[in-house]
Structure 1
């Protein structure tokens, strides 16, 4: 197999594991405090990124050195906080609905990149963002008398992850990818550990395998995604990551008995379509720089 094929296999494997990981998060989040679940998951993630940095080409000593320490720490804090909100969303708004709404993240990154990174967005990407936000409104279905305020949780999580993405773009101008991965894991673990112990709840014996599986999925999925980016460009990886929505919905329906409604399907199609167009336009702009459209 050539490198491209291997890269696509890495992405598909990572996306599949991400979907399974979300299922474990929903299951455990319904039985234990999401903050505690996130803390244990980040402990495993911190060990992984430390080992990963140590065996990287630059080594652990250089990976620790950063030119933007506060921003790197912020990334870890916002990432761990976002995962807590996501788990809350899975257990309240539902796995399928949450996954659908979370697909708006690339559009929020585009919006936030204007004031925070000083990037310019042409009318085509601007139109895609507007269409994507309309898709979110379809997902939320505010005209429905059964509208639940908990549906805003995945939207908040999406906004938080967009901030994480913006911060990652900013630090990438100064630090290596290894350094960024290291700080995301370690800073996130330290931050959540300052709060998590106050929510500690004894874990039942029968649930430890699920907790272990969550930690393994969390580290393995990130490792595979890192490997994928080593073989493929972002524009090649991003479209396949939307398969997580498909896998997530299948798990939500078959395992947790959730119901998929017409507005969820239509809204998800609109949001994913707008997100794919935005990714494609960013790729095209990258090829045509410095020309701005």
Structure 2
């Protein structure tokens, strides 16, 4: 990718937007975990994106902003591909929360900001020194401590949140890249359109009739999805990817509380230790970034 003139830096705004996005992500995934025993992950992803798309289009009509010039993308295929990355992350996420405790899923997903920090070097031309790379490696070691994969009897389900983390890291970098070319509204529309179109094509093969009492929850998943990714897009537009991404670590707080209160999952000591190491690594990245500016 070539060098771009990125939007003006507003670090505090970017941090707040990322914290909001983190909380909304956990709420959405918790709903998916609750519904996951009765419905397929593809069906839940379809609801998340179709509702997202419908709500967004209605909002644009109400605001009088549904016009070609304002929503036109300078890189439509790139934006569509970016949306597919998020669709992949969503399906991996819903498969993960159905099979694993919320806290464990999010500790593995903590590798996403670490991956962002590393990939920001070649993809976004952001400078990442040796000390920051060392912090990233320490963070990955924390993930391994928290998860403690058994090499002799490896749990294949642990690969699900890894797939989620990789897809989501690439999505974040793509968001940052296209933020220099398109508005947040355009990016949000393409996110919904890509996921909505592709999931609609495949959902008939996974369809389970939705019970009446679950319809509001299906709609809520879509609403939370739209809000969370608008907050994420604004975070990436406001500050560098390597600064705001570590604030996704706040997901652990919400995942622990919701997992304990609603699903009876309590993290082990190793999970807390590993998560602490990851959080310290992220904290170093944040402090280092502030000193650089």
State whether TM-score is above 0.5: yes
Residues 46, 281 of structure 1: alpha-carbon distance in 2 compared, 3 angstrom cutoff: farther
**What SS does structure 2 have at the residue aligned with 1:110?**
helix
Which moved further from structure 2: 90-99 or 9-18? 9-18
Is 1:199 equivalent to 2:202 in the alignment?
Answer: no
**2:90 is equivalent to residue 83 of structure 1:** yes
Q: Aligned in 2, Cα 1:6/1:156: closer, same or farther, shift over 3 Å?
A: closer
Instruction: Measure the CA separation in 2 of the matches of 1:181 and 1:155.
Output: 24
1:151 aligns with 2:158: yes
Residue of structure 1 equivalent to 2:270: 263
Contact 1:77 1:192 in 2 (8 A): no
Cα root mean square deviation, aligned: 3.2
CA gap 1:116/1:18 in 2 versus in 1, 3 angstroms: closer
Kept in 2: contact 1:117–1:170 (CA 8 A) = yes
How far apart, in 2, do the equivalents of 1:106 and 1:7 lie?
14
2:121–2:128 contact (8 Å) kept in structure 1:
yes
What is the TM-score normalised by the length of structure 1?
0.82
Of 171-180 and 205-214, deviating more is 205-214
Equivalent residue, structure 1, for 2:101: 94
**Any stretches of 5+ residues in structure 2 without a counterpart?**
1-10
Pairing of 1:152-171 with structure 2 (within 5 A): 152-171=159-178
TM-score norm. by structure 2 comes to: 0.82
Number of residue pairs matched?
282
Gaps of 5+ in 1: 288-293
Q: How many Å apart are 1:233 and its aligned residue?
A: 5.5
Q: Name the stretch that deviates more: 129-138 or 113-122.
A: 113-122
Does 2:142 match 1:135?
yes
Per-residue CA deviations over 1:209-259 (Å, capped at 9, x if unaligned) read 322332333334445x379759x7679966664332111111112211113
CA contact (8 A) 2:143 2:274 kept: yes
Whole-Å separation in 1 of the counterparts to 2:189 and 2:291: 31
Does the 8 Å contact 2:95/2:160 carry over to 1? yes
Matches within 5 A, 1:206-225: 206-222=213-229, 225=231
Per-residue CA deviations over 1:78-105 (Å, capped at 9, x if unaligned) read 1112101100000112212001211221
